[in-house]
């Protein structure tokens, strides 16, 4: 099995079936789903596969009118059950593009645990509150980072 192959076909299908924040929110709100369950699921399904899907969806859900002419690259350091994963989200010209790996010159950087990132993307965790409570660490252009949450469709 290579690093990019799903570890479990059924779980990979479930990950691939999530297409909106509402669908992700529905999964996270199932009875008994807590951080430990999310971590176990990620370990079984493959954290990289989950993050690939999540960042692709994030890029697709950018609202060009909200982002306007703003541009910049965001570095995401995500702690999963199998270690750290680094992703980049480049925003420019009203579009976003996600990729694995560290960007050269990020405008802002976020450090977050996988369960919190999932809840942020599902619209159930407020980014500002998460930063204020230490669940997300931010470096770089704090104003750019604070505006990001308003540029995405969470429905």
pLDDT band of residue 6 (cuts 50, 70, 90) is very low
pTM value > 0.85: yes
**Residue-wise pLDDT tens digits, 65-104:** 999 999 999 999 999 999 999 999 999 999 999 999 999 9
Q: Is the pLDDT of residue 3 over 60?
A: no
Tell me which residue has tokens 């299908």.
Answer: 13
Distance between CA atoms of 148 and 127, rounded to whole angstroms? 9
Q: Which fold has domain 9-151?
A: Nonspecific Lipid-transfer Protein; Chain A (3.30.1050)
What is the CA 39 to chain-centroid distance, rounded? Answer: 15
Contacts of 78 (CB under 8 A, 6+ apart): 47, 51, 84, 85, 86, 87, 112, 113, 114, 117
């Amino acid at each position: 099995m290579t690093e990019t192959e799903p570890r479990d076909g059924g779980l990979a299908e479930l990950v691939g079936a999530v297409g909106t924040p509402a669908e992700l929110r529905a999964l996270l709100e199932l009875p008994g789903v807590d951080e430990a369950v999310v971590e176990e699921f990620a370990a079984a399904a493959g954290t990289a596969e989950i993050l690939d899907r999540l960042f692709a969806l994030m890029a697709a859900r950018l609202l060009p009118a909200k982002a306007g002419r703003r541009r910049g690259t965001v570095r995401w350091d995500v702690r999963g059950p199998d270690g750290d994963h680094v992703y980049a989200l480049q925003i420019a010209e009203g579009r976003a593009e996600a990729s694995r790996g560290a960007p050269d010159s990020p405008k802002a950087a976020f450090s977050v645990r996988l369960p919190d990132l999932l809840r942020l993307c599902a619209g159930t965790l407020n980014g500002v509150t998460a930063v204020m409570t230490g669940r997300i660490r931010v470096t770089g252009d704090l104003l750019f980072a604070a505006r990001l949450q308003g540029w995405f469709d969470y429905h």
